Every structure is written in C-alpha cells, then in structure tokens.
Structure 1
C-alpha cells in the first residue's frame, strides 16, 4: 500500500516530454512514439469534448520509480458519464509476474522462475468511454510500445500492442459496418492480412471465459507485434490510433438523442457488469499496472460509474437483448 502511494507525485503542468533526456530522447522509436500518443490524446479529447460540450480534467503525475503520465477524465458529462484518455511513459524494473502479465508470449518466459527484477520501458495511451444513453456504445482503445532488457538469460525484447474495440448493448448493423470498416481500411493500408487476424484476436482476447461470451462486438487487437521493423509497425499503430474518432464519433452523434426505456437502461447496467468482470479478472493491462505499482486512478479509470449484476438474468428469446448476447457468444463478421 505504501509503495503505491509513493509511486506518484502530482505536478502542476504536464512536462514537455516524459522521456529521460539523453537516454530515451535519443532513441528514435521511444521519442517518436511519445509524440504519437500525446498528439492522439490531444486530438481525441478535443473531438469528444466537442460532442459532449464539457472539457476534460487533466492530472499530470510523475512516478518515483521512473517516468510519469497525463490523465484526462471527463466525468458527469452531457453525453458521457465517464470518458478517460491516459498517456504514460514509465521505466525502471518490474517483478517477473508483471513481465508475464505484459506479454502474451509465454514461451519466452518458460522455466525462468521469479528471481530478480526485469528492467523495462513502456509507453502507451489507453482510453475507455462510457456514454449515458444505452444506444451509444462504450469504446476502448489502447496502443503501447514495450521494451525489456536482458533478464535470466532472456535477451532484451521489444514489441507493439494495442487495438480499438467497441461495446454497444444493442446491435445496429450500420454502426458495426462503419466501425469495423474503418479499421479494416486502416489495416489494409499496412498489411492485407491484418484485419482478419486482428479481428479474430480481438474476439478471443476480450472473451469473458467464465461466461463464455465476449465483452462486446470487437474491433482489432494485437500484441507482441515485432515481426517487422519498429518504424513500420509504429506507422500502423499511428494510423490506428488516429482513426479512433473517425470510427467512433459518428456513431455517438447518430444516437446521442435516441429515446430509451428503463428496461434498456437496465440492460446497459448488466452489460457494464460484464465489462467490469473482464477488466478485473482477465485484462493484462490492469494486471500489469497493479503489479508494477502503477497509478490506481489511471488503472481503474476503465470502470463504469455504475453497473449491475442481476441474479441469473436471461434475455427472453427473440428480443434485441437475446440477439446481442448471441453475437457475444458467436462472434460475427461485420464487413
């Protein structure tokens, strides 16, 4: 508990860079990626504020173990109950269990034990947005760059990860074609195999295993991506994060004034409960943040303001709720 409290220090103004002068600033991948995620934070927050009519509150913080971040949260807005966009650049050393949480590549860590700490560098942008209206979808995105130094005989590693996914509570075919179509176009510009591969990966990653259903209706997701040179993969990551607003905002504008019933609002609360279950039980980003003594407010920003767990709640056959649940249990192709 004490370590987590000491891990952050609020600063009045966001620093020009969160990188270490002469160390990270001389690294073309680290320095460029920080610019990408900070520019994306600015542009996405501006697009969301323009729709909501309320500004984001900003906290800038530094971390005793190294690095820091900029958290922006729009709370109790006109359109969003809570929307957050966080940027962080952190470095230092982490326990081996945090390393395991950070990567999906379990083979590289096999039989390596828990001795020592792993030197690392991580930079990323993450966001979750929970609208008021049940006809407006929740949206999540995360893009990150990760490096480790040699540890227990494992050479230093680097990789990119991330993606953008959408969690409505009702199916609107046109919305899903727009959202998935936007990301298919992004993927196709960089590699024609990406969309099908990353869409499947998204459906599999965001699966609530104990429920046998996905958290939402997918998007793209990738991790441990290092099969091309870093600049090439970074170009893809930049294109993807820069299309968050284009994929999401038109859907919100279309539905923000839709009327809704109390039953529809209740279904939204039930699905938010599923969101909480995934994030606290399965999400590797949450696990990594907690195991590295990260900033708790930033880590748990993804939680909705309200959620519900109704005992053995089963939608009636033939309803829109049942159709949505079927899509979560049997992922569909939207484009």
Structure 2
C-alpha cells in the first residue's frame, strides 16, 4: 500500500509524533486524515477527540478545541509563505499529567525559527507557584494545590530584519483553592517586536486588536495596551521589547466564562489577521549585513526579557516535569550581544529606539 507523502510514527510514552511535511495541497491533505487525526489538526488532541465532543460544554474542552484549531490555522497560514522549511510536529506527554503539541520550523527562507505550541496539563502546583499566584490576589490555602492549565504560545522569528517578530499567548487556568472551590481565569496577549520601525504596521496591529476588544467593552483596549507596555519592559535597559500590543491576566469579565472565552477567541483571530499580511509585505525586502547585525542585537534583548522577566517562562521552569524544549522554544536560533553598542543619531535604528524608550499610543485609546 502506498502511503501519503507525510507519515507519522508513535514510539510510546514520552515519545514524539513526527510528520515529514505539512499538508499544503489536496493530494497531501490525506496525510493527517490517513492517521485518523480529526479536523486536520497538527496532531491528535491531548484529550481524546471523542471526549472533547462528548463534554462540549466544559470550558476545559472548549478551550482545548479552540487551541487545536488556532494552532492548525496559524501554522497553515505561515506555511503558505515558507517555500523551503516544514513543520516539525512533536506530540509529547507530561509524566505528571497531560501533554502538548509543539510545532517548530527552523532554517526556513522566510522563517528562521518559528514555534506554535499548545499544552494541556494537570497535576499539583508546587509551593513556589502557589506563592506566586497568591501574591497576585489569589486565595489558595492549600499547598501543593491541584491545577489544570491549557494554552497556546507562539513566537515567530523571521529571517528578514524588516519582518517583525511576533509573540502571542492565550491560556486558561483552574486551581483548587483548598476550601472546596475551583478558581478559574483566563490570560493572554500579543506584542509586536520590529527591528526597523514601520509606523503603518504598528498602527494596523493596534487597530486590529482594538477592534476585537471594543466588541466586549470600551475600556479593555486601553487597559490591556497599557498593561502590555508595562509588562514587556526591560527595566535594566530602560526600554520596552517592541511596539506593544495587549496583555492581560487573571481575567473573568462576567459571571459566566463564555463572555471571556469569546474575548479570547476574538483577540487570537485579530492577532493572526494582523500579522500574516506583514510577513507577505516585507518578506522579500532587501537588506544587508548592517541590518542583519542590528536584528541580532535586538534579538539579544528578546532573550534577556524571556529569561529574566517573562512570567510564563518562570512558571514553566517551576512546574514539575515541564518540557524544557517547549518552554525555551521562544528563543531565537541566533542572537548577539555587542559590547557598548551605540546607534547613530537620526538613523533608522535610532528611530526605533526612541519609540522603545517612550511607548506610543498608535491608535486612540478610546473612541
């Protein structure tokens, strides 16, 4: 029997599920359906698809299906612009409960390194993680505490310095407070990190996010934009990571979870629709060694933030049996630190730095 162009192998507990190629046309679309993967997801869901459908009203299951579809759609949209590389797809299991699907592309012509990961994990939170949550206003009296968490996290590092890096993360969390009550909340956000400032891109990115949030209330964009400028900030450098976006955590905007879930979905859709046109717009722009050198220096700042300040990275590293490769997926393949590097006044690099030192409101914060 002739197999489809891509194939999968499963090697048991803790192994990975790998695909040779991402399906891109009608002939290759058989590759995932051949192995019984529903909805042409990148891999089988962590929770069985049958269970996800049978308990469709559970927020855990709603969120996992949303994550699977988001991963599939964003990976496919990016692949349409990458002529050389394909996705490595690893489905992994966490010894303490749950697992995830990591989709990583490396050494592409357009995408130097790209990752789109989902995780669906459960188990017991260690004392340090509980302490961190309580410091943000939670009231968890039992430590260690049973928990459930799921989310999608993506960082795209393009090869061309004129294509910005993007990060997004959307997540859902439940934890037993120790008094018989389950605390739950959503979090997430996205931020854009250009190497050369394109004001048109920055405005478009913020317009899309504001439009998505205005459907849910007049003040969310203003609040989440300012939160993003504060969160994605390197205090030891005195600069933000990029031109901002939105950030929020511990979010429940109504007594029922559905309204907050709808906000999460709208933000994710806006993120995808804002970023893909930027890849198309700039992927063939000409650049030289000077622009590449600046890109690598700025990537160094990205590494500094993720390893020193990022709360998600710190949470992942504190979680027992965490998958380190997935946590550190966000780091670029190549970065650079140059001693006492200075930009020339009035240069394109200087224009970017002025925005990073003083965040800009790219669109009106309210209507």
Q: Does TM-score exceed 0.5, indicating one fold?
A: yes
What is the deviation of 1:164? 1.4
Contact 2:46 2:100 in 1 (8 A): no
What is the deviation of 1:77? 0.9
Q: Deviations over 1:55-108 (max 9, x none)?
A: 21100011110000000011111101100000110000011212345x495233
Choose from 59, 64, 80 the match for 2:111: 80
What is the rounded CA distance, in whole Å, between the counterparts of 1:45 and 1:216 in structure 2? 23
Structure 2: any 5+ residue segments left out of the alignment?
1-12, 19-42
2:94 is aligned with 1:51:
no
Moved more, 239-248 or 272-281: 239-248
| Structure 2 counterpart of 1:3 | none
> What RMSD in Å do the two structures reach over aligned CA positions?
2.2
2:341 is aligned with 1:313:
yes
2:310 is aligned with 1:280:
no
Choose from 102, 125, 132 the match for 2:152: 125
Q: Deviations over 1:256-307 (max 9, x none)?
A: 1111121111111111000000000011110111111310110000000011
When residues 225 and 45 of structure 1 are mapped into structure 2, their CA distance, relative to the original with a 3 A threshold, is same
What is the deviation of 1:119? 0.8
What is the rounded CA distance, in whole Å, between the counterparts of 1:255 and 1:73 in structure 2? 22
- After TM superposition, the structure 1 = structure 2 runs for residues 153-164 of structure 1, keeping only pairs within 5 Å, are 155-164=181-190
| Structure 1 counterpart of 2:195 | 169
When residues 77 and 20 of structure 1 are mapped into structure 2, their CA distance, relative to the original with a 3 A threshold, is closer
| Structure 1 counterpart of 2:122 | 91
2:15 is aligned with 1:10:
yes
What is the rounded CA distance, in whole Å, between the counterparts of 1:75 and 1:104 in structure 2? 38
| Structure 1 counterpart of 2:8 | none
| Structure 2 counterpart of 1:144 | 171
- After TM superposition, the structure 1 = structure 2 runs for residues 174-213 of structure 1, keeping only pairs within 5 Å, are 174-213=200-239
Contact 1:18 1:69 in 2 (8 A): no
| Structure 1 counterpart of 2:136 | 106
What is the deviation of 1:20? 11
| Structure 1 counterpart of 2:72 | 42
What is the rounded CA distance, in whole Å, between the counterparts of 2:304 and 2:163 in structure 1? 21
Count of residues in Structure 1 that have an aligned counterpart in Structure 2: 323
What is the rounded CA distance, in whole Å, between the counterparts of 1:24 and 1:309 in structure 2? 49
Structure 1: any 5+ residue segments left out of the alignment?
1-7
Name the TM-score, length of structure 1 as normaliser. 0.90
Q: Deviations over 1:117-156 (max 9, x none)?
A: 11100000000000011111000000000010023x6953
Contact 1:141 1:163 in 2 (8 A): yes
Name the TM-score, length of structure 2 as normaliser. 0.83
Moved more, 233-242 or 297-306: 233-242
When residues 194 and 19 of structure 1 are mapped into structure 2, their CA distance, relative to the original with a 3 A threshold, is farther
Q: Deviations over 1:166-207 (max 9, x none)?
A: 100111111111111111111111222111111111110000
